[in-house]
Amino acid sequence: MRKPIVAGNWKMNKTVADALALVNGMKAELSAIEGVDVVLCPPFTALAAVGQAIAGTRVDLGAQNMHAEKSGAYTGEVAADMIRELGCHYVILGHSERRQYFKETDELVNKKARAALAAGLRPIVCVGELLAQREAGQTEKVVETQVRGSLAGLGPKDLLATVLAYEPVWAIGTGKTATPAQAQEVHAFIRKVLQSLADESVAQSVRIQYGGSVKASNAKELFHQPDIDGGLIGGASLEARSFIDIVKGAL
Ligand code: 13P
């Protein structure tokens, strides 16, 4: 049985003061939810404060990005050990916004995933097609290329520590959610790709989140599809009530 995992990707939102107000308004209720792994991914600047606020609760901490190198002359960048030190156990990698605005490739995402795993972090590796690619019937080809490229060379142990997030780009921040059937179809396909990368047992154990306009009103139906193991939540994770209700949708 895969344990569902719901993560809030706050993106470039919340000062430290705003982050603390949000986390203090939801940590008790989130921590009382058993049976779902919950991860908060604030911006770098709020990681330390949020990490301290959730210390001792069941809620976990993740970063939204990291650099692939351990240290060095990379002005403005942050390394795996640095986020690990702040209490992160997860790191989102290859989000479509990073692929689009910061030109991240599968090769780079793969380097980052290896560095994250070597530092004891669990990567949340994002994949997903553009609207034009879906309309051209290329969804499976695009997603397969991203999964294979981003996870290249990872052995079973590393694959088991990795979470995948299927986020169709046309569903991110648009209010246009993939239907449960559309999402399920791609999740089942990703599991087939995982099987060819490793074996049936690994493919059945890796958790695959859905992301893209998840709200309290559609979370439950999405999360109860057979191959969907929770979600990666953007806009709706910025407000306590809606995020708590979404997490409960995974029960
Ligand atoms: P929204 O939930 O705002 O559509 O964002 C999804 C996302 O990109 C999470 O990583």
Is 211's C-beta closer than 6 angstroms to any atom of ligand 1?
yes
pLDDT at 176: 87
Q: Ligand 1 centroid to 212 CA: how many Å?
A: 5
For a ligand 1 pocket test, name from 104, 172, 246 the mutation site with the most ligand atoms within 8 angstroms of its C-beta: 172
Q: Ligand 1 centroid to 124 CA: how many Å?
A: 13
Average the pLDDT over 134-156 and give the result.
Answer: 98
The answer on pLDDT for 1 being more than 90 is no
185 among known catalytic residues: no
Tally of CB atoms within 10 A around 17? 10
Which residue owns the Cα nearest ligand 1 atom 7?
234
The answer on pLDDT for 162 being more than 90 is yes
Q: Ligand 1 centroid to 79 CA: how many Å?
A: 24
Average the pLDDT over 43-68 and give the result.
Answer: 98
Average the pLDDT over 60-74 and give the result.
Answer: 98
167 among known catalytic residues: yes
Average the pLDDT over 2-11 and give the result.
Answer: 98
Q: Ligand 1 centroid to 137 CA: how many Å?
A: 23
pLDDT tens-digit profile of 181-233?
Answer: 999 999 999 999 999 999 999 999 999 999 999 999 999 999 999 999 999 99
Q: Ligand 1 centroid to 50 CA: how many Å?
A: 20
3-class DSSP string for the chain: CCCCEEEEECCCCCCHHHHHHHHHCCHHHHHCCCCCEEEEECCHHHHHHHHHHHCCCCEEEEECCCCCCCCCCCCCCCCHHHHHHCCEEEEEECCHHHHHHCCCCHHHHHHHHHHHHHCCCEEEEEECCCHHHHHCCCHHHHHHHHHHHHCCCCCHHHHHHCEEEECCHHHCCCCCCCCHHHHHHHHHHHHHHHHHHCCHHHHHHCEEEEECCCCHHHHHHHHCCCCCCCEEECHHHCCHHHHHHHHHCCC
pLDDT at 77: 98
Which residue owns the Cα nearest ligand 1 atom 2?
234
Confidence bin at 41 (pLDDT 50/70/90): very high
For a ligand 1 pocket test, name from 232, 238, 245, 247 the mutation site with the most ligand atoms within 8 angstroms of its C-beta: 232
Q: What percent of the chain has pLDDT over 90?
A: 98
Q: Which of 67, 95, 104, 129 is catalytic?
A: 95
Query: pTM of the full predicted structure?
Result: 0.98
Atom of ligand 1 nearest to the CA of 235: 3
Confidence bin at 135 (pLDDT 50/70/90): very high
